[in-house]
Amino acid sequence: AQGQFVPAGSWLPIIFNPSFPYRLTHTVIAAFLTTALVVAGVGGWHLLRDRANLGARKMLAMGLGMVAVMAPLQILAGDEHGLNTLEHQPAKVLAMEGHYDAHPDGAPLILFGLPSDRDERVRYAVEIPRLSSLILRHDPDAPLPGLKDFARDRRPPAAILFWSFRIMVGLGLAMLMLGVWGLWARWRRRLYDTPWLHRAAVAMGPAGFVAVLAGWITTEVGRQPWVIYGHMLTADARSPIAAPAVATSLAAFVVVYFAVFGLGVLYVLRLIAKPPEAHEAEPRRTPRHAAGITPVATFEPTNREKDA
């Protein structure tokens, strides 16, 4: 009545909503995968220059090992996530799949094509019959609704979702293949002697970041036009702030973020460019932490230094 959506008594049902376990699992695995791919990519980069570098070998072995474990888990988690989304945000999944029409007796999986919201169809669709029903309902003949079952102004923009979803899934499958290739090379005892594997690891180094962004776009664009699904439209949630004020703060964000992250990325790339040194000693010093989360630049003396 007051134009507010506050759950009776507690915010916990909002945080622990029905998609929470799926999102948490999928996003945490995404973080593990992204990290593993960067480590494997940096290891591969240095092995292409010096195959004997022990540090680089360890990075490649551990990174690819992690990818081999996490990529199949991520695909399983993503599949479960999709089933949950179909239950709670069906229009999102229908847009991801490019289903404008309902399919009463089994929907095909559209691999590629050009979705057009205006024409309400996917042009040049390449599809596999009934596979979408098999994936989403575990039954090839199961019916699936279509976007046309929703009013035009209650649908997300299908083209963005169709492609962001394919980028995420495509990269997930590429990660799986990289992990399997790594296992195969390890089994053949050629993990450090397969330059094409090292090149593939370098090429896939940034793939985790791209997949995470694609997943995020799928999630956020996919819930449009709702800010609170089925209850409140994004258009009704906007703040009464004039466009120039929004543009100014956006411009400030762009400038500050480009400067801060730009420098950060340059710094990290310079660190990455340095090969791990042969026989590099284990870290000896324990950084002491300040009261907050920021490490301070002082070190506890090691026991050996204390003795000395």
Residue 229 vs 267, nearer CB to ligand HEM: 229
* 164 near ligand HEM, judged by CB under 6 A: no
Task: Looking at residues 22 to 41 of the shown chain, list those that interact with ligand HEM (rule: CB under 6 A).
Answer: 23, 26-27, 30, 33-34
Instruction: Give least dist CB 247 to ligand HEM, A.
Output: 27
Among 46, 57, 92, 155, binds ligand HEM (CB under 6 A): 92
- Contact of 144 with 103, CB cutoff 8 Å: yes
CA triplet 157, 226, 92: central angle to 5 degrees?
45
Q: How many angstroms separate the CA atoms of 142 and 131, rounded?
A: 10
CA distances, 102 to each of 119, 158, 186 (Å): 15, 15, 47
Residue 73 vs 114, nearer CB to ligand HEM: 73
Site string for ligand HEM, 187-226 (x = CB under 6 A): ---------------------x--xx--xx-xx--x----
Q: How many angstroms separate the CA atoms of 194 and 204, rounded?
A: 16
Buried-exposed string 72-107: b where 16+ CB fall within 10 A, e elsewhere: eebbebbeebbebbbeebbbbbbbbbbbbbebeebb
Among 82, 156, 179, 205, binds ligand HEM (CB under 6 A): 82
* 169 near ligand HEM, judged by CB under 6 A: yes
Q: How many angstroms separate the CA atoms of 59 and 75, rounded?
A: 24
Q: How many angstroms separate the CA atoms of 122 and 115, rounded?
A: 4
* 95 near ligand HEM, judged by CB under 6 A: no
Residue 97 vs 106, nearer CB to ligand HEM: 97
* 63 near ligand HEM, judged by CB under 6 A: no
Among 109, 122, 161, 168, binds ligand HEM (CB under 6 A): 168
Q: How many angstroms separate the CA atoms of 44 and 195, rounded?
A: 8
Q: If DSSP codes are grouped into helix, strand and coil, which group holds residue 119?
A: coil
Residue 47 vs 161, nearer CB to ligand HEM: 161
Q: Which stretches of the chain bind ligand HEM, using CB under 6 A?
A: 23, 26-27, 30, 33-34, 74-75, 78-79, 81-82, 85, 89, 92, 168-169, 171-173, 175, 208, 211-212, 215-216, 218-219, 222
